Chain A
Amino acid sequence: MCAIGAASHIGFETMPSIVVKNLTIDIPVLSIRAQSLRTIAVAKARAIGGRIIDSGTQINVVRALDQISFTLGKGDRLGLIGSNGAGKSTLIRVLADIYAPSAGEIERQGTLIPMFDIGIGFDHEATGYENIFLRGMMMGLTRREIADRTDEIAAFSELGEYLDFPIRTYSAGMTLRLMFSIATSVAGDIILMDEWIAAGDESFQNKAQKRLLEITGKAGILVIASHDPNTLLRHCNLGMRLEKGRIADFGPIERVLNRPVHAAAE
């Protein structure tokens, strides 16, 4: 299953695939008033018998994704393009099984590796090693799996003895090295990224890029949201332009990137 997907294995070879049909995501935007039980209770009480006063308790809904359909198969590398708020990150999170569809459906085959927000869940008081364990647990790995990977993560991060120190003593770059090394220690068929991950100084940068290319190259499917055309051209073969939650364009990445925004919308 996808929750804790990294650890679950499917007994037979499956072709990774993602099939999205008429996917719609409505995100409730709760005003301060709508988040208040008191306000809602008062509004309900007032509504009895009398006229309904605008109480500000309505829940506004933002349609973040609107009737999205597409299919990805083995070897597809999809780049998501669109202005801020177009729905790129939302789509990544739906594919990662975090947001449940309001309508429509998603079918996924393959183990899922989310590679966004890789710095969340770290404990700055805990040592590097403890954070490897902590983060591994959150990624759904077993103790054993974490133990098996720890040496490799430590070696890749090049943090050496620093891994025995609390990570609050690390520089920003060192922390990023650790986060990157942990996040990329798992393999999977479907990799989801919100912006290409970059980490560390120049020497680490090169190493990190090599590793990311290796991982994404091995993965059956890559979906990445990015604002950088060069990143997308380098790593993707397919492009999807999202506009206000709808697919404005979908096709080979060069075509999608080069077509002017308004022409694509027609």
Chain B
Amino acid sequence: MATSTDADRALRDLRDVVVRSTIWSSLANADIRSKYRLSTFGSLWITMTTGAMALAIGLFYGQFFGQDMRSYLPYFTASIITWTFISSVLGEASLTLVGAGNLIKSSQMPIVFHILRMLHRNLIIVLHNAIVLAAIWPFVRWSLHPSAVLSLAGLVLLYLFLVGTSVIIAIICVRYRDVPPLIQVLIQFLFFLTPIIWYPEQIKFGAELLKLNPVTYMLMIVRDPILGRPVEIQTWMIAIGLSAASLIAGSLMYVRYRRRIAYWV
């Protein structure tokens, strides 16, 4: 308990993310429970909201892309579930530390736990939403290959990617309070530049440019295996690289700025 440098302190926090993971995961569970406490279906409302959207768009929008409903419905559903995860996390990351200000200034909980709590809450939502995909399978019966389990590996990679990215966004946004709206703009921008409602194969112009969008890779590794769409090994390599880079950058940023966050909130 003697004096320790700020870097030691930050590194200890990061280690505690793993060692004391029950804390942030329990808090996330409590958040979900609390939010849906007063309704009959509870957290299944999450599932129903996504289900309604997937049905409405999935049934009709396929026509615009020359696809029949049977292939477009699962495509859109899987896309939107993954995208909702990404966009909610990025959006909430920009507000999470400011929102936890009082807690940061009064408790000794590692600051990074507030970010993990937010992430885990969103992971619980994804898992709820995955039910929608399971529910439409009996009607559409797209071919499920054993490689579909790779979607889980993709989800793990995406989670790691979002951990790093969220830490970076959260720290920038707690220091500069005009950044959150910018993040919202970026999310909107990314939505249209990522193959969510459209198919990457259909791009005739600017395909090279779209390859610069990191979200595309992170989305494809989660969505494509479960749909039986092939994922190139190159995509996996890029996704692994992006996750590693994001974790390293996030950790460095946390170690560097951790001590100042209590002053900024």
Show the binding face of A for B, using Cβ within 8 Å.
Answer: 1-5, 10, 14, 27-28, 30, 35-38, 40, 93, 96-100, 105-110, 112, 114, 116-117, 120-121, 123, 125-126, 130, 133-134, 137-140, 142-143, 166
Contacts and interface: CB of A to CB of B under 8 A. Distances in A.
A126 B263 contact: no
Nearest to A194: B106
Given A37-B176, A37-B178, A140-B23, A4 B109 contact: yes
* Chain A interface SS verdict (over half): loop
A36 B176 contact: yes
B211 interface: no
Interface of B: 1-3, 6, 9, 12-13, 16, 20, 22-23, 26-27, 30, 33-35, 37-38, 102-110, 172, 175-179, 182, 259-260, 262-264
A98 B1 contact: no
A35 B178 contact: yes
Contact of A105 (B3, B26, B34): B3
A81 B72 CA distance: 70
Contacts, number: 116
Given A36-B176, A99-B263, A130-B30, A143 B109 contact: no
A174 B179 CA distance: 40
Contact of A35 (B13, B110, B176): B176
B106 A114 contact: yes
* Chain B interface SS verdict (over half): helix
B2 A107 contact: yes
B33 to A, nearest CB: 8
- Of B20, B104, B108, B262, chain A has the most CB atoms within 10 Å of the CB of B108
Nearest to A116: B106
Contacts of A2: 1, 108
A137 B120 CA distance: 16
A175 to B, nearest CB: 16
A97 B1 CA distance: 11
Contacts of B172: 37
